Structure 1
């Protein structure tokens, strides 16, 4: 059963210990939200078992993804991701080496990209990213190699090469670059994790949540945001209708933004985006220094240490190269369930 693309409800859970059962997976995942089904796949004798968990609600699935990816179940760290369409379920390429290919001419197809990169080694996957509505190329894509050395060579040798009428850019693929948001977008459109996670620095763990004109309390915010990770601090400004929620990790904050933005709380449609952390909230002196330097660049000091994001931030694309895979620290309150 395929989910509607923008609100998927099915998770892939891989790298399982052979002793894990469907019942155990359901016991763990229903702690986060009601599950519809769990299907265990064990037919490949050489590979580790994996399973698909389907939730009733997208936001529960998103919370489970944030909470469970990288956790140990029966001593093995599990990989959790959105389940993909049946055609690509056949091979798990998550541990292959992914190359980002940018500045593609509009007429360049997946086949062209494959052909251009084939000389460097065995390719496990390649695709040019298309716009869902128009079906046109977005001008970038990805190529995955089985072998790290092949990927390195491809990045070194293909950067600046001509493909069609343009010189292409290559780099390690960290996150997909955010899609530019159209100016009339009021922010209630479903945001995508891959876009949101790159729209603020990896040190930023703070979510701005606005639009709750009445009934805003710290308790309400804790209830709303605790499924997405460990909360370090909450500040509410009830008379202004907004609050700031600081998580222990950047990824938790990004999951929270994606899942809560545009939902209805206390009868109000809420807007979520990155809040701006000020130096006094940084976790160590070196980070404080970085943040102070950043702040001098922005020249924006703020009363009471918090700043409401301007919505022009939606259109700001971060330099794709600046981000490695930020390590995900995940929520600890499920730990007692996982230590068998």
Structure 2
């Protein structure tokens, strides 16, 4: 479910944005006659891509409006009442909490993000999103935790960290409060202040 859309948003634009995360089956735009904002449903082939889209796109601005992305309910409840379409979880996702990881340097792999986030708790899935055509990293990914508290803790601790810095942080934090970590992967050294 993608809501709070600008009236200028088209199905084609939504498909273009969301298919960067994973292959989309279809997109259905609902134009409300009562004058409310349009909303739409995006269907992915794979659950993990839908989960990544939810983590990546919720709260993002599309044409100047912050969109709301949520799990859609079953088709039977997609009535005129738009509030019914924002019911949260699907069964598969009830016990997973997704953390979006952005601004990754191109050499960061899925293994790297697993290693960096593993200390925060049990991970159900981790993935660097790759370009279908080139196989290169798109510079973002996601990590899914079984436990909500672990996910929130990871967001708090890792926000603004260099990912390789995340591993440094785990290694050096027992020795005192860390002010700054700077990693120079090409030179093979780091500074920890």
Q: TM-score, normalised by structure 2?
A: 0.51
The 1-side partners of 2:82 and 2:19 are apart by 25
Q: Which residue of 2 aligns with 1:28?
A: 17
Unaligned runs of 5+ in 2: 100-106, 128-143, 160-169, 174-193
Q: 2:6 aligns with which of 7, 11, 17?
A: 17
The 1-side partners of 2:58 and 2:27 are apart by 16
Q: TM-score, normalised by structure 1?
A: 0.31
The 2-side partners of 1:194 and 1:305 are apart by 34
Alignment partner of 1:37 is 2:37:
no
Offset, 1:259: 4.2
The 2-side partners of 1:26 and 1:56 are apart by 13
Alignment partner of 1:53 is 2:48:
no
Offset, 1:36: 1.2
8 Å Cα contact 1:192/1:258 also seen in 2: no
SS in 2 for 1:221: helix
8 Å Cα contact 1:193/1:258 also seen in 2: no
8 Å Cα contact 1:62/1:259 also seen in 2: no
Unaligned runs of 5+ in 1: 1-11, 97-124, 126-174, 177-190, 198-204, 206-216, 223-233, 237-242, 247-252, 262-270, 284-302, 307-340
Work out which of the two has the higher radius of gyration on C-alpha atoms and give 1 or 2: 1
Question: Against the structure 1 CA distance between its residues 36 and 88, is the aligned structure 2 distance closer, same or farther, given a 3 Å change threshold?
Answer: same
SS in 2 for 1:53: strand
Q: Which residue of 2 aligns with 1:208?
A: none
8 Å Cα contact 2:95/2:146 also seen in 1: no
Alignment partner of 1:85 is 2:74:
yes
Offset, 1:244: 3.3
The 5-angstrom pairing of residues 127-138 of structure 1 reads none
Q: Which residue of 2 aligns with 1:213?
A: none
The 5-angstrom pairing of residues 247-326 of structure 1 reads 257-260=123-126, 304=171
The 2-side partners of 1:65 and 1:34 are apart by 14
The 2-side partners of 1:259 and 1:89 are apart by 30
Alignment partner of 1:62 is 2:62:
no
Question: Against the structure 1 CA distance between its residues 57 and 15, is the aligned structure 2 distance closer, same or farther, given a 3 Å change threshold?
Answer: same
The 2-side partners of 1:89 and 1:258 are apart by 30
Alignment partner of 1:219 is 2:109:
yes
The 1-side partners of 2:38 and 2:64 are apart by 14
8 Å Cα contact 1:34/1:56 also seen in 2: yes
8 Å Cα contact 2:110/2:126 also seen in 1: no
Question: Against the structure 1 CA distance between its residues 88 and 305, is the aligned structure 2 distance closer, same or farther, given a 3 Å change threshold?
Answer: farther
Question: Against the structure 1 CA distance between its residues 62 and 258, is the aligned structure 2 distance closer, same or farther, given a 3 Å change threshold?
Answer: farther
SS in 2 for 1:244: helix
SS in 2 for 1:245: helix
Question: Against the structure 1 CA distance between its residues 73 and 258, is the aligned structure 2 distance closer, same or farther, given a 3 Å change threshold?
Answer: farther
Matched pairs, number:
131
Offset, 1:305: 7.1
